[in-house]
Amino acid sequence: EPEVTQTPSHQVTQMGQEVILRCVPISNHLYFYWYRQILGQKVEFLVSFYNNEISEKSEIFDDQFSVERPDGSNFTLKIRSTKLEDSAMYFCASSDLWGDSSYNEQFFGPGTRLTVL
């Protein structure tokens, strides 16, 4: 069964450092997403990506964040200068192309736990 994979499973970094979180979406999917979940809080939408550009982003997704699809399989989230409050679980998700009348499930990866010290 196809699945979304994410690496690394756990990333520890110092405040101010850059981190890149990597995701391999399901191969025939066209929409890609990043969500985050701070410990004990809601899963929050960060950004969606389609056709090599950002479709929508939340207020959380400020200039410190960027996303990229560097090749045909990977989807990355970069945080340029990490802050303590960036510590969270980051989930990548992917979905098939939405039709007018059909629902397309977002499949989530297992997450990357980011710890900023």
Partner 1 sequence: QKEVEQDPGPLSVPEGAIVSLNCTYSNSAFQYFMWYRQYSRKGPELLMYTYSSGNKEDGRFTAQVDKSSKYISLFIRDSQPSDSATYLCAMSDPYSGAGSYQLTFGKGTKLSVIP
CB of residue 117 to partner 1, shortest distance in Å:
20
* Angstrom distance (rounded) from CA 112 to CA 5: 10
Closest approach of partner 1 to the CB of residue 40, in Å: 8
- Which of 55, 74 has the CB closer to partner 1? 55
The least CB distance from residue 42 to partner 1, in Å, is 5
Geometric angle at alpha carbon 70, from 69 and 73, rounded to 5°: 70
Residue number with CB closer to partner 1 (16 or 98): 98
Residues that bind partner 1 (CB under 8 A): 4, 31, 33, 35, 41-45, 48, 50, 55-56, 58, 89, 91, 93, 95, 98, 103-111, 113
113: which residues sit within 8 A by CB, 6+ positions away? 9, 10, 11, 88, 89, 90
Structure-derived torsion over alpha carbons of residues 27, 33, 34, 38, reported in degrees to the nearest 10: -110
- 7 or 104, CB closer to partner 1? 104
Residue among 75 and 91 whose Cβ is closer to partner 1: 91
**Helix segments in the chain, DSSP class H:** none
- Count other Cβ atoms within 10 Å, centred on residue 24: 16
**Closest separation between CB of residue 23 and partner 1, Å?**
11
